[in-house]
Structure 1
Amino acid sequence: MTRRLGNSAAASDVVQDTFLRVYATSANAEIASPAAYLFRVADNLAIDHMRQEAARARVIAADPDQEDVPSREASPERALDYKQRLEVLNAAIAELPPKCREVFLLHKYDGLSHSEIGERLGITRSMVEKHVMKALAHFRDRLAGLLD
Protein backbone atom coordinates (compact mmCIF):
# COMPACT_ATOMS: atom_id res chain seq x y z
CA MET A 1 0.00 0.00 0.00
CA THR A 2 2.90 2.36 0.77
CA ARG A 3 4.31 1.90 -2.72
CA ARG A 4 0.94 2.64 -4.30
CA LEU A 5 0.15 5.74 -2.26
CA GLY A 6 3.64 7.16 -2.12
CA ASN A 7 4.05 7.50 1.64
CA SER A 8 3.70 5.35 4.70
CA ALA A 9 1.45 7.74 6.64
CA ALA A 10 -1.21 7.68 3.92
CA ALA A 11 -0.89 3.90 3.66
CA SER A 12 -1.35 3.52 7.42
CA ASP A 13 -4.46 5.70 7.28
CA VAL A 14 -5.96 3.67 4.44
CA VAL A 15 -5.20 0.37 6.19
CA GLN A 16 -6.79 1.60 9.41
CA ASP A 17 -9.87 2.89 7.56
CA THR A 18 -10.10 -0.43 5.73
CA PHE A 19 -10.19 -2.46 8.91
CA LEU A 20 -12.68 -0.09 10.52
CA ARG A 21 -15.03 -0.38 7.55
CA VAL A 22 -14.67 -4.14 7.31
CA TYR A 23 -15.26 -4.52 11.04
CA ALA A 24 -18.36 -2.31 10.91
CA THR A 25 -19.74 -4.15 7.90
CA SER A 26 -18.98 -7.64 9.18
CA ALA A 27 -21.01 -6.98 12.33
CA ASN A 28 -24.13 -6.38 10.21
CA ALA A 29 -23.73 -8.80 7.32
CA GLU A 30 -22.22 -12.13 6.44
CA ILE A 31 -19.45 -11.76 3.88
CA ALA A 32 -19.04 -14.65 1.44
CA SER A 33 -15.37 -13.95 0.69
CA PRO A 34 -13.78 -11.92 3.51
CA ALA A 35 -10.34 -11.69 1.89
CA ALA A 36 -11.73 -10.46 -1.43
CA TYR A 37 -13.95 -7.97 0.39
CA LEU A 38 -11.02 -6.71 2.46
CA PHE A 39 -8.87 -6.15 -0.63
CA ARG A 40 -11.72 -4.46 -2.51
CA VAL A 41 -12.36 -2.05 0.37
CA ALA A 42 -8.64 -1.28 0.65
CA ASP A 43 -8.40 -0.72 -3.10
CA ASN A 44 -11.42 1.60 -3.12
CA LEU A 45 -10.08 3.61 -0.18
CA ALA A 46 -6.67 3.91 -1.83
CA ILE A 47 -8.31 5.18 -5.03
CA ASP A 48 -10.36 7.69 -3.00
CA HIS A 49 -7.20 8.88 -1.27
CA MET A 50 -5.35 9.34 -4.58
CA ARG A 51 -8.32 11.28 -6.01
CA GLN A 52 -8.36 13.56 -2.97
CA GLU A 53 -4.62 14.16 -3.31
CA ALA A 54 -5.02 14.95 -7.02
CA ALA A 55 -7.82 17.41 -6.24
CA ARG A 56 -5.70 19.00 -3.52
CA ALA A 57 -2.80 19.33 -5.97
CA ARG A 58 -5.08 21.03 -8.51
CA VAL A 59 -6.22 23.55 -5.89
CA ILE A 60 -2.64 24.27 -4.90
CA ALA A 61 -1.59 24.61 -8.55
CA ALA A 62 -4.47 27.04 -9.14
CA ASP A 63 -3.32 29.25 -6.23
CA PRO A 64 0.50 29.10 -6.09
CA ASP A 65 0.66 32.03 -3.64
CA GLN A 66 -0.52 29.92 -0.72
CA GLU A 67 2.06 30.29 2.01
CA ASP A 68 1.18 27.29 4.17
CA VAL A 69 1.92 24.71 1.48
CA PRO A 70 4.97 22.59 2.35
CA SER A 71 7.77 22.49 -0.18
CA ARG A 72 7.69 19.63 -2.69
CA GLU A 73 11.49 19.63 -2.89
CA ALA A 74 13.30 16.88 -1.06
CA SER A 75 15.38 17.83 1.93
CA PRO A 76 19.17 17.57 1.48
CA GLU A 77 19.18 14.49 3.74
CA ARG A 78 16.48 12.78 1.72
CA ALA A 79 18.19 13.64 -1.58
CA LEU A 80 21.45 12.16 -0.27
CA ASP A 81 19.59 9.04 0.92
CA TYR A 82 18.01 8.58 -2.52
CA LYS A 83 21.38 9.08 -4.21
CA GLN A 84 23.01 6.46 -1.98
CA ARG A 85 20.17 4.00 -2.59
CA LEU A 86 20.46 4.54 -6.32
CA GLU A 87 24.20 3.85 -6.17
CA VAL A 88 23.57 0.58 -4.31
CA LEU A 89 20.89 -0.39 -6.84
CA ASN A 90 23.22 0.37 -9.76
CA ALA A 91 25.95 -1.71 -8.12
CA ALA A 92 23.50 -4.57 -7.59
CA ILE A 93 22.50 -4.42 -11.27
CA ALA A 94 26.17 -4.46 -12.28
CA GLU A 95 26.73 -7.58 -10.14
CA LEU A 96 24.21 -9.61 -12.14
CA PRO A 97 25.51 -12.07 -14.72
CA PRO A 98 25.48 -10.43 -18.19
CA LYS A 99 22.51 -12.35 -19.63
CA CYS A 100 20.49 -11.94 -16.43
CA ARG A 101 21.25 -8.21 -16.37
CA GLU A 102 20.25 -7.83 -20.02
CA VAL A 103 16.95 -9.66 -19.47
CA PHE A 104 16.18 -7.62 -16.35
CA LEU A 105 16.90 -4.29 -18.05
CA LEU A 106 14.85 -5.20 -21.12
CA HIS A 107 11.94 -6.16 -18.86
CA LYS A 108 12.01 -3.39 -16.25
CA TYR A 109 13.47 -0.45 -18.15
CA ASP A 110 12.36 -1.10 -21.72
CA GLY A 111 9.04 -2.61 -20.68
CA LEU A 112 9.27 -5.66 -22.91
CA SER A 113 7.20 -8.73 -22.13
CA HIS A 114 8.84 -12.05 -21.34
CA SER A 115 7.86 -13.36 -24.79
CA GLU A 116 9.33 -10.32 -26.55
CA ILE A 117 12.59 -10.65 -24.63
CA GLY A 118 12.76 -14.36 -25.44
CA GLU A 119 12.31 -13.66 -29.14
CA ARG A 120 14.87 -10.86 -29.12
CA LEU A 121 17.53 -12.89 -27.27
CA GLY A 122 16.74 -16.29 -28.74
CA ILE A 123 15.86 -17.91 -25.41
CA THR A 124 12.67 -19.47 -24.08
CA ARG A 125 10.04 -17.54 -22.16
CA SER A 126 10.72 -19.83 -19.22
CA MET A 127 14.40 -18.88 -19.22
CA VAL A 128 13.45 -15.19 -19.31
CA GLU A 129 11.26 -15.74 -16.24
CA LYS A 130 14.12 -17.50 -14.46
CA HIS A 131 16.50 -14.63 -15.20
CA VAL A 132 13.98 -12.06 -13.91
CA MET A 133 13.35 -14.06 -10.74
CA LYS A 134 17.09 -14.49 -10.19
CA ALA A 135 17.59 -10.73 -10.55
CA LEU A 136 14.74 -9.92 -8.16
CA ALA A 137 16.07 -12.38 -5.57
CA HIS A 138 19.52 -10.82 -5.90
CA PHE A 139 18.07 -7.32 -5.36
CA ARG A 140 16.03 -8.49 -2.39
CA ASP A 141 19.15 -9.88 -0.74
CA ARG A 142 21.41 -6.99 -1.73
CA LEU A 143 18.98 -4.18 -0.85
CA ALA A 144 17.38 -5.69 2.27
CA GLY A 145 18.93 -3.15 4.63
CA LEU A 146 17.85 -0.15 2.53
CA LEU A 147 14.15 -0.83 2.25
CA ASP A 148 11.72 0.89 4.61
Structure 2
Amino acid sequence: MTQWDINQLFRTYHARLRHFVQKRKLAWYTADDIVQDTFLRVVATPSLPDVKYAQSYLYRTAQNLVVDHFRRERILKFVPDAEKSLEYVASDSPLPDQIVWSRQELRRLQSAINKLPASTREVFVLARLEGKTYAEIGEKLGIPPQTAFSRMVRALTLLRDQTKIDEKN
Protein backbone atom coordinates (compact mmCIF):
# COMPACT_ATOMS: atom_id res chain seq x y z
CA MET A 1 0.00 0.00 0.00
CA THR A 2 1.40 3.36 -1.05
CA GLN A 3 1.55 6.23 1.42
CA TRP A 4 1.44 9.80 0.19
CA ASP A 5 2.72 12.84 2.05
CA ILE A 6 -0.64 14.61 2.22
CA ASN A 7 0.88 17.81 3.62
CA GLN A 8 3.29 18.11 0.71
CA LEU A 9 0.52 17.32 -1.79
CA PHE A 10 -1.75 19.93 -0.19
CA ARG A 11 0.94 22.62 -0.35
CA THR A 12 1.71 21.72 -3.95
CA TYR A 13 -1.77 21.24 -5.40
CA HIS A 14 -4.27 23.14 -3.22
CA ALA A 15 -4.22 26.43 -5.17
CA ARG A 16 -4.09 24.67 -8.54
CA LEU A 17 -7.01 22.39 -7.67
CA ARG A 18 -9.03 25.35 -6.40
CA HIS A 19 -8.45 27.20 -9.68
CA PHE A 20 -9.32 24.03 -11.63
CA VAL A 21 -12.60 23.63 -9.73
CA GLN A 22 -13.54 27.33 -9.89
CA LYS A 23 -13.21 27.25 -13.68
CA ARG A 24 -16.30 25.00 -13.61
CA LYS A 25 -18.42 28.08 -12.72
CA LEU A 26 -18.63 27.35 -9.00
CA ALA A 27 -18.63 29.84 -6.15
CA TRP A 28 -15.34 30.19 -4.27
CA TYR A 29 -16.79 28.61 -1.14
CA THR A 30 -18.11 25.61 -3.08
CA ALA A 31 -14.74 25.24 -4.78
CA ASP A 32 -13.04 25.29 -1.38
CA ASP A 33 -15.39 22.57 -0.12
CA ILE A 34 -14.71 20.39 -3.15
CA VAL A 35 -10.94 20.79 -2.85
CA GLN A 36 -11.13 19.95 0.85
CA ASP A 37 -13.28 16.89 0.06
CA THR A 38 -10.72 15.87 -2.57
CA PHE A 39 -7.96 15.73 0.02
CA LEU A 40 -10.26 14.01 2.51
CA ARG A 41 -10.93 11.30 -0.06
CA VAL A 42 -7.20 10.79 -0.51
CA VAL A 43 -6.72 10.46 3.25
CA ALA A 44 -9.64 8.01 3.50
CA THR A 45 -8.58 5.85 0.54
CA PRO A 46 -7.01 2.63 1.80
CA SER A 47 -4.97 1.82 -1.31
CA LEU A 48 -3.55 4.63 -3.39
CA PRO A 49 -1.66 4.33 -6.64
CA ASP A 50 2.04 5.14 -6.83
CA VAL A 51 2.83 8.75 -5.86
CA LYS A 52 3.85 9.54 -9.45
CA TYR A 53 0.11 9.39 -10.27
CA ALA A 54 -0.86 11.72 -7.43
CA GLN A 55 -1.55 14.76 -9.61
CA SER A 56 -3.87 12.95 -12.03
CA TYR A 57 -5.54 11.15 -9.10
CA LEU A 58 -6.24 14.46 -7.33
CA TYR A 59 -7.60 16.13 -10.46
CA ARG A 60 -9.79 13.14 -11.32
CA THR A 61 -11.17 13.02 -7.78
CA ALA A 62 -11.88 16.77 -7.86
CA GLN A 63 -13.59 16.44 -11.25
CA ASN A 64 -15.77 13.59 -9.95
CA LEU A 65 -16.78 15.69 -6.95
CA VAL A 66 -17.69 18.59 -9.26
CA VAL A 67 -19.89 16.25 -11.30
CA ASP A 68 -21.52 14.97 -8.10
CA HIS A 69 -22.15 18.56 -7.00
CA PHE A 70 -23.91 19.44 -10.25
CA ARG A 71 -26.00 16.26 -10.07
CA ARG A 72 -27.20 17.22 -6.59
CA GLU A 73 -27.95 20.75 -7.78
CA ARG A 74 -29.98 19.38 -10.67
CA ILE A 75 -32.03 17.20 -8.33
CA LEU A 76 -32.66 20.07 -5.91
CA LYS A 77 -34.25 22.08 -8.72
CA PHE A 78 -37.23 19.75 -8.52
CA VAL A 79 -37.81 20.66 -4.89
CA PRO A 80 -39.72 23.94 -4.45
CA ASP A 81 -37.58 25.16 -1.52
CA ALA A 82 -34.06 23.72 -1.51
CA GLU A 83 -33.59 24.75 2.13
CA LYS A 84 -36.52 22.53 3.09
CA SER A 85 -35.56 19.68 0.76
CA LEU A 86 -34.91 17.25 3.61
CA GLU A 87 -38.53 17.58 4.68
CA TYR A 88 -39.48 15.78 1.46
CA VAL A 89 -37.33 12.77 2.25
CA ALA A 90 -39.26 9.90 3.77
CA SER A 91 -38.52 9.27 7.41
CA ASP A 92 -36.95 6.01 8.49
CA SER A 93 -38.94 6.15 11.71
CA PRO A 94 -41.64 3.53 12.04
CA LEU A 95 -45.25 4.65 11.84
CA PRO A 96 -47.35 4.54 15.03
CA ASP A 97 -49.28 1.46 13.87
CA GLN A 98 -46.00 -0.32 13.14
CA ILE A 99 -44.75 0.47 16.64
CA VAL A 100 -47.95 -0.89 18.20
CA TRP A 101 -47.82 -4.04 16.06
CA SER A 102 -44.13 -4.60 16.90
CA ARG A 103 -44.80 -4.25 20.61
CA GLN A 104 -47.68 -6.74 20.39
CA GLU A 105 -45.44 -9.19 18.54
CA LEU A 106 -42.72 -8.80 21.17
CA ARG A 107 -45.24 -9.47 23.96
CA ARG A 108 -46.50 -12.58 22.13
CA LEU A 109 -42.96 -13.82 21.63
CA GLN A 110 -42.04 -13.15 25.26
CA SER A 111 -45.13 -15.03 26.38
CA ALA A 112 -44.26 -17.98 24.14
CA ILE A 113 -40.65 -18.00 25.40
CA ASN A 114 -41.89 -17.98 29.00
CA LYS A 115 -44.01 -21.09 28.27
CA LEU A 116 -40.96 -23.11 27.16
CA PRO A 117 -39.62 -25.75 29.54
CA ALA A 118 -36.80 -24.26 31.65
CA SER A 119 -33.94 -26.24 30.07
CA THR A 120 -35.17 -25.49 26.54
CA ARG A 121 -35.73 -21.81 27.33
CA GLU A 122 -32.23 -21.54 28.79
CA VAL A 123 -30.65 -22.88 25.60
CA PHE A 124 -32.83 -20.58 23.46
CA VAL A 125 -31.84 -17.50 25.48
CA LEU A 126 -28.15 -18.37 25.40
CA ALA A 127 -28.18 -19.05 21.66
CA ARG A 128 -30.50 -16.35 20.33
CA LEU A 129 -30.15 -13.53 22.82
CA GLU A 130 -26.57 -13.94 23.99
CA GLY A 131 -25.19 -15.28 20.71
CA LYS A 132 -23.46 -18.31 22.22
CA THR A 133 -22.46 -21.33 20.14
CA TYR A 134 -23.77 -24.79 20.95
CA ALA A 135 -20.31 -25.74 22.21
CA GLU A 136 -20.30 -22.74 24.57
CA ILE A 137 -23.84 -23.52 25.72
CA GLY A 138 -22.92 -27.15 26.33
CA GLU A 139 -19.89 -26.13 28.33
CA LYS A 140 -21.87 -23.62 30.40
CA LEU A 141 -24.76 -26.02 31.11
CA GLY A 142 -22.63 -29.15 31.42
CA ILE A 143 -24.31 -30.90 28.48
CA PRO A 144 -22.98 -32.12 25.13
CA PRO A 145 -23.22 -29.60 22.24
CA GLN A 146 -25.56 -32.04 20.44
CA THR A 147 -27.98 -31.85 23.37
CA ALA A 148 -27.84 -28.05 23.25
CA PHE A 149 -28.63 -28.23 19.55
CA SER A 150 -31.52 -30.65 20.14
CA ARG A 151 -32.98 -28.36 22.80
CA MET A 152 -32.70 -25.42 20.43
CA VAL A 153 -34.57 -27.33 17.73
CA ARG A 154 -37.22 -28.18 20.31
CA ALA A 155 -37.46 -24.53 21.41
CA LEU A 156 -37.91 -23.31 17.84
CA THR A 157 -40.54 -25.97 17.15
CA LEU A 158 -42.49 -25.08 20.28
CA LEU A 159 -42.26 -21.35 19.53
CA ARG A 160 -43.46 -21.88 15.97
CA ASP A 161 -46.38 -23.98 17.17
CA GLN A 162 -47.26 -21.44 19.88
CA THR A 163 -47.26 -18.53 17.43
CA LYS A 164 -49.53 -20.48 15.10
CA ILE A 165 -51.97 -21.03 17.96
CA ASP A 166 -51.79 -17.32 18.88
CA GLU A 167 -52.47 -16.30 15.26
CA LYS A 168 -55.64 -18.39 15.19
CA ASN A 169 -56.94 -16.75 18.36
TM-score (norm 1): 0.52
| Unaligned ranges ≥5, structure 2 | 1-71, 73-82
1:46 matched to which residue of 2?
A: none
How many Å apart are 1:67 and its aligned residue?
Answer: 2.6
1:46-71 per-position Cα deviation (integer Å, ceiling 9, x unaligned)? xxxxxxxxxxxxx9xxx994232112
Is 1:80 equivalent to 2:100 in the alignment? Answer: yes
Matched ranges for 1:125-136 at <5 A: 125-136=145-156
One-letter amino acid of the counterpart of residue 89, structure 2: V
Question: How many angstroms apart in 2 are the aligned matches of 1:85 and 1:121?
Answer: 29
Match of 1:72, SS state, is: coil
1:139 matched to which residue of 2?
A: 159
One-letter amino acid of the counterpart of residue 125, structure 2: L
| Unaligned ranges ≥5, structure 1 | 1-58
Q: 1:136 to 1:64 in 2, by over 3 A?
A: farther
Matched ranges for 1:37-116 at <5 A: 65-116=85-136
Question: How many angstroms apart in 2 are the aligned matches of 1:64 and 1:127?
Answer: 59
TM-score (norm 2): 0.46
Match of 2:86, SS state, is: coil
Is 1:123 equivalent to 2:136 in the alignment? Answer: no
Question: How many angstroms apart in 2 are the aligned matches of 1:126 and 1:141?
Answer: 23
Matched ranges for 1:11-50 at <5 A: none
1:95-134 per-position Cα deviation (integer Å, ceiling 9, x unaligned)? 0111111111011111111011001100111110111001
Give me the identity figure in percent: 33
1:19 matched to which residue of 2?
A: none
Question: How many angstroms apart in 2 are the aligned matches of 1:71 and 1:64?
Answer: 14
Question: How many angstroms apart in 1 are the aligned matches of 2:132 and 2:84?
Answer: 40
Structure 1 residue ranges, 4+ long, deviating more than 6 angstroms after superposition: none
Question: How many angstroms apart in 1 are the aligned matches of 2:125 and 2:115?
Answer: 13
Question: How many angstroms apart in 2 are the aligned matches of 1:124 and 1:98?
Answer: 17
Match of 1:66, SS state, is: helix
Looking at CA atoms only, which structure, 1 or 2, has the larger radius of gyration?
Answer: 2
RMSD between superposed Cα atoms in Å: 2.2
Match of 1:70, SS state, is: coil
